[in-house]
Structure 1
Amino acid sequence: MSAQENKSVVEVTAKDVQGGGVVACPNPAMPLWSNHPRVFVDITHEGGGKCPYCGTVYKLKAGEQLHSAH
């Protein structure tokens, strides 16, 4: 495992999640110098999702639940 794979983990709440279970990266807390093209990271899978540009992992905070479309 390379050192780059050990990136930050961002825990999000259900209200941070858009549409079908995605969050935007870069997020507003990231410094301007680290910006990359905006991508939407799917966090609906167990363990969350990982940004393909910066490697930041996004996951739902413990106890938070996404609203089901069913």
Structure 2
Amino acid sequence: MSVPNPLETVRKEHEIAVRAEDLPLHCPLPGEPVNLLHPRVFLDPTAEGEAVCPYCSRRFRFEGPLPKHHH
């Protein structure tokens, strides 16, 4: 029996759309092998409409209405 490669679960997109239900946002994303990528960093894509991970340079673009606490 072969052992699954945890890197196969990593999202490979350079730009990822996120919505209010994805907050709080952190990179690596849930389900990704945190110990194989980089330290977890929390990002706020609501401030300017997008956020870039300082470790892997993935861009997270916020779509949709802001959460109620962001008036």
Shared fold, TM over 0.5: yes
- The equivalent residue for 2:27 is 25
Residues 60 and 41 of structure 1: CA distance in aligned 2, closer, same or farther (over 3 Å): same
- The equivalent residue for 1:39 is 41
Question: How far apart, in 2, do the equivalents of 1:55 and 1:48 lie?
Answer: 12
1:66 matched to 2:67? The reply is: yes
RMSD between aligned residues = 2.4
- Regions of 4+ moved over 4 Å: 29-34
TM-score normalised over the length of structure 2: 0.62
Structure showing greater radius of gyration is: 2
Q: Which has the higher contact order (CA 8 A, sep 6+)?
A: 1
Aligned pair count reads: 59
Sequence identity percentage = 37
Give 5+ residue unaligned stretches, structure 1.
Answer: 1-6
- The equivalent residue for 1:56 is 58
Give 5+ residue unaligned stretches, structure 2.
Answer: 1-12
